[in-house]
Amino acid sequence: MASLAWLLIPLFAAIGAAVWGGWAARDRTAGDISELAGYARFREAMDGPDRDGSPAAHSGSDRV
């Protein structure tokens, strides 16, 4: 019975390695499209028409 337990340990390790390898090699590009679209919207918002490049507009104070 002890020899059977020692033979099952590598078997479980091989199954675990196969599961982990399959999980690590999965295709993860499905979410990239929406993330890239969100980043493009962010860039458009940052480069919007209200940015004139003047430092006073970006300082946050209206006082003189």
Q: What is the pLDDT of residues 9-26, one digit of tens each?
A: 999 999 999 999 999 998
Task: Tell me the H-state helices in 1-64.
Answer: 2-24, 32-46, 55-59
Taking residues 25-39, report their average pLDDT.
81
pTM: 0.44
Higher pLDDT, 10 or 35: 10
55 vs 43, more confident? 43
Give 39's Cβ-side CA count (13 Å radius): 6
Higher pLDDT, 56 or 50: 50
Helix (H, G, I), strand (E, B) or coil at 21: helix
Spell out a b/e string for 11-33, using b for 16 or more CB atoms within 10 Å of the CB, else e.
eeeeeeeeeeeeeeeeeeeeeee
